[in-house]
Amino acid sequence: MKSFDAIVIGAGQAGPFLAARMVEKGMKVALIERKFLGGTCVNAGCMPTKTLVASARAAHVARNSAAYGVNIPGEIAIDMKVVRARAETVTMNARNGLIGWFAGMDGMTVISGHARFEGPQTVSVNGEMLTAPRIFLNVGARPVIPNLPGINDIDYLTSTSIIHLDRLPRHLAVIGGSYIGLEFAQMYRRFGAEVSIIEHGPKLASREDEDISDAIADVLRSEGIDIHTGASDIAFAKSSDGITVATDSARIDASHVLIATGRKPNTDDLGLDAAGVITDKHGYITVDDSLATNVDGIWALGDCNGRGAFTHTSYNDFEIAAANLLDGDDRKVSSRILAYALYIDPPLGRVGMTEKQARASGCKIMISTRPMSRVGRANERGETKGFMKVIADAETKKILGAAILGIEGDEVIHGIIDAMNAGTTYPALQWSVPIHPTVSELIPTLLGDLKPV
Q: Which residues are catalytic?
A: 436
Instruction: Look up residue 106 and give its amino acid.
Output: D
Q: What's the chain's Rg over C-alpha atoms?
A: 24
The total number of residues shown for the chain amounts to 453
Q: Cα 8–264–319 angle (5° rounding)?
A: 40
**Cα dihedral 73→76→79→82 (10° resolution):** 80
CA 208 to chain centre: 15
For residue 174, the surrounding DSSP H or E stretch is strand 171-175
Contact of 368 with 440, CB cutoff 8 Å: no
- The answer for residues whose C-beta is within 8 angstroms of residue 116's C-beta and 6 or more apart is 123, 124, 125, 269, 270, 271, 274
Count CA atoms within 13 Å of residue 292 on its CB side.
Answer: 11
In three-state secondary structure terms, 111 is: strand
In three-state secondary structure terms, 339 is: strand
Measure the CA–CA gap between 324 and 416, rounded to whole angstroms. Answer: 27
- Backbone angles phi and psi of 325, in degrees to 5: -90, -30
Dihedral sign from CA coordinates of 378, 379, 381, 385: positive
Which CA distances in Å does 395 have to 24, 220, 364, 414, 432? 46, 38, 7, 24, 21
CA 190 to chain centre: 21
Measure the CA–CA gap between 17 and 136, rounded to whole angstroms. Answer: 12
Measure the CA–CA gap between 290 and 162, rounded to whole angstroms. Answer: 36
Dihedral sign from CA coordinates of 73, 75, 80, 84: positive
Q: Cα 54–58–62 angle (5° rounding)?
A: 170
* Per-state percent for the chain, helix, strand, coil, to nearest 5: 35, 25, 40
User: Among 144, 123, 260, which Cα is nearest to 197's?
Assistant: 260
